[in-house]
Chains A and B, each alone.
Chain A
Amino acid sequence: MFKAKIKAETLKEVVDVISALVDEAKFNITSDGVSLRAVDPAHVAMLDLALQKKGFEEFKAKECELGIDIDKLKDVLKLAGAGDILDLEHDEDKNKLILDVGNITRRMALVDTAGMSDPKVPNLNLPAKLIVNTNELRRGLRAAEAVSDHVALIASSDSFEMVSEGDTDSVNLKLPKALLKELDCKENQKSLFSLDYFSTMVKAIGSTPEVTMYIGTDYPINLEFDIAEGNGHVKYLLAPRIESE
């Protein structure tokens, strides 16, 4: 059983976060809220999302799984205006999700969840932790995209650096410790990532002003941030590029 009301803005945040990686996802619903874990089709990135009951305007549910086509959800959201509230209800008999936006009712067929994986979030023990301003990060990525398709993230004890080297040009963004809200790094850490993944993820952060990053050496990066006014939490994991021998 699942019946809820949610602000269109909140649902949009959730959808943006998911659609950065996958087209279809399995929503695990409990009486406390909604959670979702997924690996992208190329098996390069992973998503762990949780939205508490408080993130909804109204929420009543018992344990169930909903397989949702994210593109369809996007279509429905396009119908919603600012400040609209969506009614969601799971029709168990027909296995459909019924969404009400204003006077429109959309009956959405659900996707079979049997083939969808249920990944566990791996325990990575990443040695460096830092909190970065989202806009600063976005600007750096925009600069990097112009010269290359990958970017190196480097954390040291006194700064965070993003270096992107193309065939002819290079770009680097350096943020000293003073400009970071938090920097906890004893030894230098460096990993290389595909820009298309990393910047899609950063774009999905939305309006959240700060993002927490955990970095290792030739290891995945963990990006964490809050959504839904602090009632939801997102964890992105991105596997590094293979540096050719």
Chain B
Amino acid sequence: MGVSKITYFFFLIYHNEEALTYYLRNSFKASMNVDWAEKYRPKRLNDVVGNPTATKELRDWAETWERGTPKKKAVVLVGDPGVGKTSSALALAREFGWGIVELNASDLRNADAIRKVATSGALNETFTDSGEFVSTRHGGRKLIILDEADNIFGKEDYGGIQAIVMTIRETLQPIILIVNDYYALVRRSPALKSMCHTIRFSGIHKSSVIKLLRTICQNEDITVSNETLNALAEHSSGDLRSAINDLESLSLGKRKISEKDVTVLGFRDYRINIFKALTGIFRTTSYNRALESAYNLNEDPEHLLLWIDENLPLEYKKHEDLASAYYSLSRASIFLGRVRIRQHYKLWGYANDLMTAGVAVSKTSSMRGYTKYQFPSWLTKMSQTRGIRTLQKSLNEKLSSHYHTSRYVAQIEMFPYFRYLFENEKDFNIYAIRDLDLDSEEIAYILGEETDSPTVKHLLEKSKDLDKKKKEEKPQLTGSEKGKKEQDKGRKMRDTEDIDAKKAQDLRQKNLSDF
């Protein structure tokens, strides 16, 4: 009884299905029992509840392996939690008599670990868990299952995705990747898109959920009314595993479950992806519903704002709607800016309301049809221009520290003139290169040339020659020049610059008069 109370308690706190499953599984192991979701896992593909098309596709793929190594050596099973992806993969292996090698989120999945387990598994014949030897020569296979493959990231899983791509390329055994978020997987490795056959699993229909729950109740000798089952199924919103878990946690220590018990469950916290959140915001006029779409989204507000910004014009067609929605969005952006500047995260709440509910209630007519949402182009462009922006930044830094001004002023006010002088004024460029210590890339950027163009090379060489000449001249510095040098040195210390004082002086003498 102790176990059940603790489990139930944890459930109430977290409403988190993964934690619950884990908790249940572990506590039941102790009492030599398995949780129902495990106990009632389908043994054969035909027993998998729901998704008949997907399971058929999976079987068809498995059959291609019976005739040798097929073109698509891996499949990706995509779908929300609890709709039968892992169950189908396991049932498939059992039905075909294949061995199973499983790597899930609790295992270390960096490049090394994946090579060690998945790659070696993929290239060699198999001993099953029970110790049987299965050979591909007699149709025996080993199914390599990478569960939660969209969660392979971070420091500890470094290089994992690349190792998976390599494994799929080389494998002589079937591989199944299981993901909730297809987009999160292929974003990390677009190559996977073409290498794998994708099979989508959808939420399980309420009637199927009820049917299975009823079978379980009969087996476990639990009395339950149709209304209760209906409420449980409703509550699970297509997530069969959570429905079974709910049923199990409600029935602990009881023989009868009433409809009232179900209300204890509260709201299930389920994570949704960005596309669903966008639909939720764009297609509703309800303040609360729009807000909720963002609650369950695991994406920070700044990102969500960009997504809404990108896709708003694809959805809202009326000009007035669009204007009003963008007004809300811009107000949200102001709040996000304040969060950033003041580090006052309470303001996120306002930003959230404005960008979700504000956008949702801005429309006067409802939208229909399918819209393909786009990835924020601002992010794409920023990442494409990263190289040129770092170049600009370093150039502006050099300019600003040389001319004792901010980087912003250097960029906006000085750079155009600087560029003009650089291109047109005789010898200005050679001195500028030496004194600002410009490299070939920066010169190329100023002149709009290629890094290895003859002009760039020529200029660089000339400025180097200048250095040589300077060295020869150095011993003949006159007294007055020395004085100036010292003066400059003082200034240099004040400004904590690292520019050679001599160079600064030279540039001032020869060029700054041009300004």
State which of A43, A122, A196, A245 has its C-beta within 8 Å of the C-beta of B69.
A245
Q: Does B173 contact A (CB under 8 A)?
A: yes
CB pair B172–A244 under 8 Å, yes or no, is yes
CB pair A44–B135 under 8 Å, yes or no, is no
Q: Does B441 contact A (CB under 8 A)?
A: no
CB pair A239–B129 under 8 Å, yes or no, is no
CB pair B130–A117 under 8 Å, yes or no, is yes
CB pair B124–A122 under 8 Å, yes or no, is no
Instruction: Bits for B190-208, please: 1 = Cβ < 8 Å to A, else 0.
Output: 0000000000000000000
CB pair B131–A37 under 8 Å, yes or no, is yes
Q: Does A194 contact B (CB under 8 A)?
A: yes
Q: Does B452 contact A (CB under 8 A)?
A: no
- Closest Cβ of chain A to B115, distance in Å, is 10
CB proximity to A under 8 Å, residues B73-116: 99-101, 116
Q: Does B137 contact A (CB under 8 A)?
A: yes
CB pair B133–A194 under 8 Å, yes or no, is no
CA A86 – CA B120 in complex, angstroms? 36
Indicate whether A43 sits within 8 Å of B128 (C-beta atoms), given known contacts A196-B120, A244-B69, A245-B69.
yes
- Closest Cβ of chain A to B95, distance in Å, is 18
Look across to chain A and name the residue whose beta carbon is closest to the beta carbon of B172. A242
Indicate whether A42 sits within 8 Å of B133 (C-beta atoms), given known contacts A122-B127, A220-B125, A241-B123.
no
| A219 neighbours in B (Cβ, 8 Å) | 133, 135
Instruction: Bits for B132-154, please: 1 = Cβ < 8 Å to A, else 0.
Output: 11011100001000000000000
| A244 neighbours in B (Cβ, 8 Å) | 69, 172
- Closest Cβ of chain B to A22, distance in Å, is 11
CA A196 – CA B112 in complex, angstroms? 13
User: Which of B69, B100, B129 has the most chain A CB within a 10 Å cutoff?
Assistant: B129
CB pair B133–A220 under 8 Å, yes or no, is yes
| A239 neighbours in B (Cβ, 8 Å) | 124-127, 133
CB pair A124–B116 under 8 Å, yes or no, is no
CB pair A241–B131 under 8 Å, yes or no, is no
CA A42 – CA B143 in complex, angstroms? 10
CA A220 – CA B127 in complex, angstroms? 9
CA A240 – CA B136 in complex, angstroms? 10
Instruction: Bits for A45-70, please: 1 = Cβ < 8 Å to B, else 0.
Output: 11000000000000000000000000
CA A194 – CA B121 in complex, angstroms? 11
CB pair A41–B117 under 8 Å, yes or no, is yes
- Closest Cβ of chain B to A200, distance in Å, is 11
Chain B interface residue bracket vs A: 20 to 34
- Closest Cβ of chain B to A170, distance in Å, is 19
State which of B121, B125, B173 has its C-beta within 8 Å of the C-beta of A240.
B125
CB pair B120–A122 under 8 Å, yes or no, is no
CA A194 – CA B142 in complex, angstroms? 16
Q: Does A27 contact B (CB under 8 A)?
A: no
Look across to chain B and name the residue whose beta carbon is closest to the beta carbon of A117. B129
**B interface: dominant SS:** mixed
User: Which of A41, A115, A197 has the most chain B CB within a 10 Å cutoff?
Assistant: A41
State which of B68, B126, B172 has its C-beta within 8 Å of the C-beta of A43.
B126
| A240 neighbours in B (Cβ, 8 Å) | 124-125
Q: Does B118 contact A (CB under 8 A)?
A: yes
CA A121 – CA B127 in complex, angstroms? 10
CA A120 – CA B69 in complex, angstroms? 29
- Closest Cβ of chain A to B197, distance in Å, is 20
Q: Does A178 contact B (CB under 8 A)?
A: no
- Closest Cβ of chain B to A237, distance in Å, is 7
- Closest Cβ of chain B to A24, distance in Å, is 12
Q: Does B389 contact A (CB under 8 A)?
A: no
CB pair A39–B117 under 8 Å, yes or no, is no
State which of A44, A115, A121, A242 has its C-beta within 8 Å of the C-beta of B136.
A242
CB pair B131–A43 under 8 Å, yes or no, is no
Look across to chain A and name the residue whose beta carbon is closest to the beta carbon of B99. A43
Q: Does A119 contact B (CB under 8 A)?
A: yes
State which of B100, B124, B129 has its C-beta within 8 Å of the C-beta of A194.
B124
CA A42 – CA B117 in complex, angstroms? 4
CA A242 – CA B172 in complex, angstroms? 7
CA A88 – CA B375 in complex, angstroms? 60
Indicate whether A218 sits within 8 Å of B135 (C-beta atoms), given known contacts A43-B121, A242-B123.
yes
Q: Does B29 contact A (CB under 8 A)?
A: yes
- Closest Cβ of chain A to B74, distance in Å, is 16
Instruction: Bits for A193-211, please: 1 = Cβ < 8 Å to B, else 0.
Output: 0101100000000000000
| A42 neighbours in B (Cβ, 8 Å) | 101, 116-118, 120-121, 124
| A122 neighbours in B (Cβ, 8 Å) | 127, 131-133
- Closest Cβ of chain A to B131, distance in Å, is 3
Known A39-B129, A197-B120, A239-B133; 13 more pairs at CB < 8 Å: A41-B101, A41-B116, A44-B126, A44-B127, A112-B29, A122-B131, A122-B132, A124-B133, A237-B133, A239-B124, A239-B126, A241-B123, A242-B136
A-B CB contact pairs (8 Å), 29 listed:
A39-B127, A39-B131, A41-B117, A42-B116, A42-B120, A42-B124, A43-B127, A44-B120, A44-B126, A46-B127, A117-B129, A117-B130, A119-B127, A124-B133, A194-B120, A196-B120, A197-B120, A197-B124, A218-B135, A219-B133, A219-B135, A220-B125, A239-B127, A240-B125, A241-B123, A242-B124, A242-B172, A242-B173, A245-B68
Give A contacts to B, CB under 8 Å.
37, 39, 41-46, 112, 114-115, 117, 119-122, 124, 194, 196-197, 218-220, 237, 239-242, 244-245
